[in-house]
Amino acid sequence: MSETDRQLAEAWFRKAENDLLNARNNLAADLIPFDTVCFHCQQMAEKYLKGFLAWHAQPFGRTHDLESLIALCGTIRDELTTLREHANLLSGYAVDVRYPDAFDDPTWAEAEDALQAALAVKMAILLAIGDALDPASILPKT
């Protein structure tokens, strides 16, 4: 892997960690925008998948389609195709949740499920990369 690929992947992972921070901060608020939590969970999963593809210098284009990103990741590590169930849960939160007439407002339980699905994607990606990634390199910049 080139240094450029590594830096791009780490940048994707840091952005994903910012989405995780947004989701967790919102869940801890007095007033919780569950649609926003679910959106950031979808974004976190998407960015971890894109980071994994960047890590492996695999082009992916401009997409929010988690299924297609998982399929690409599966060409590198077959076990990542098991993430499809999480993609199915998160996919509607990419675009539809942002429009009032396309999606019912998510509930607390749905936001929690979205967070768990996004965290499962994160863990699978980090396990697939292994020790080659320094965890400190993906912490959000302060």
Query: What CATH number is attached to the domain comprising 18?
Result: 1.20.120.330
Torsion sign, CA atoms 71, 77, 78, 83: negative
What lies within 8 Å, CB to CB, of 30 at 6+ separation is none
Please tell me the total count of domains within the chain: 1
Instruction: Classify residue 3 as exposed, middle or buried by CB count within 10 Å of its CB (0-12, 13-18, 19+).
Output: exposed
> What does the pLDDT read at residue 101?
74
Average pLDDT score, the chain: 93
Q: What is the residue range of 50's domain?
A: 3-138
pLDDT at residue 102 tops 70: no
Of 96-100, 104-108, 110-114, 134-138, where does the model show the most confidence?
Answer: 110-114
What lies within 8 Å, CB to CB, of 99 at 6+ separation is none
> What does the pLDDT read at residue 137?
87
